[in-house]
Amino acid sequence: MKTSNSIDLFIAEFPKEMQALLQKVRETIRKAAPKAEESINYGIPTFKLEGNLVHFSGYKQHIGFYPGSSGIKAFEKELSIYKGAKGSVQFPLDKPIPYALITKITKFRVKENLEKAEAKKKPKSKIDFFESLSAPARRALENNGITTLKKLSSFSEEAIMGFHGMGKSSIPILNTALKAGKLGFKKKDSKVTTEKNSDSEQVTAHIKKLEPGLGKIVETIRQIILSTDKNISERIKWNNPSFYYTGEMKPFDPKEYKREITVFNLFKGRIMLVFPSGAKVKDTSGLLEGEYKDGRRITVFKDMKDVKEKEKALRSVLKKWLQLVDK
Look at 197 and 228; give whichever has higher pLDDT.
228
Q: How far is CA 205 from the centre of its chain?
A: 25
DSSP 186: P
What pLDDT is attached to residue 78? 94
Confidence band of 157 (pLDDT split at 50, 70, 90): confident
Q: What are the start-end ranges of the H helices in 76-163?
A: 76-79, 99-121, 135-143, 149-152, 157-161
Asked if residue 84 belongs to a domain, the reply is yes
Amino acid, single-letter form, for residue 229: D
What pLDDT is attached to residue 192? 41
Q: For residue 157, what are the domain limits?
A: 126-180
Asked if residue 174 belongs to a domain, the reply is yes
Residues found in the chain: 327
Asked if residue 56 belongs to a domain, the reply is yes
Asked if residue 83 belongs to a domain, the reply is yes
135 with 113, same domain: the answer is: no
42 with 132, same domain: the answer is: no
Asked if residue 187 belongs to a domain, the reply is no
Asked if residue 185 belongs to a domain, the reply is no
306 with 251, same domain: the answer is: yes
DSSP states of 271-306: -EEEETTGGGS---SS--B---TTS-EEEE--SHHH
Q: How far is CA 46 from CA 112, 180, 204, 216, in A?
A: 17, 40, 58, 53
**Sheet strands side by side (includes 62-66):** 37-41, 44-48, 52-58, 62-66, 89-92
What pLDDT is attached to residue 196? 55
What pLDDT is attached to residue 129? 64
136 with 112, same domain: the answer is: no
Counting the structural domains of the chain, the total is 3
57 with 91, same domain: the answer is: yes
Asked if residue 29 belongs to a domain, the reply is yes
Q: Is the pLDDT of residue 297 over 50?
A: yes
What pLDDT is attached to residue 269? 82
Confidence band of 114 (pLDDT split at 50, 70, 90): very high
Amino acid, single-letter form, for residue 28: T
Domain of 279, CATH number, reads 3.90.1150
81 with 141, same domain: the answer is: no
C-alpha radius of gyration, the chain, whole number: 30
Q: Of 92, 121, 150, at which residue does a domain stop?
A: 121
Q: pLDDT, tens digit, for every residue of 19-49?
A: 999 999 999 999 999 999 999 988 899 999 9
Q: What is the C-alpha to C-alpha distance for residues 284 and 150, in angstroms, rounded to an integer?
A: 46
Look at 179 and 89; give whichever has higher pLDDT.
89
What pLDDT is attached to residue 1? 56
140 with 95, same domain: the answer is: no
Q: Of 121, 149, 166, at which residue does a domain stop?
A: 121
Domain of 60, CATH number, reads 3.90.1150.200
Which of 141-155, 247-261, 282-296 has the largest mean confidence? 282-296
31 with 104, same domain: the answer is: yes
318 with 203, same domain: the answer is: yes
What pLDDT is attached to residue 150? 85
Q: Of 80, 97, 121, at which residue does a domain stop?
A: 121
Q: pLDDT, tens digit, for every residue of 189-227?
A: 544 444 456 888 899 999 999 988 999 999 999 999 999
226 with 294, same domain: the answer is: yes
76 with 132, same domain: the answer is: no
223 with 107, same domain: the answer is: no
Asked if residue 191 belongs to a domain, the reply is no
Which of 54-58, 156-160, 254-258 has the largest mean confidence? 54-58
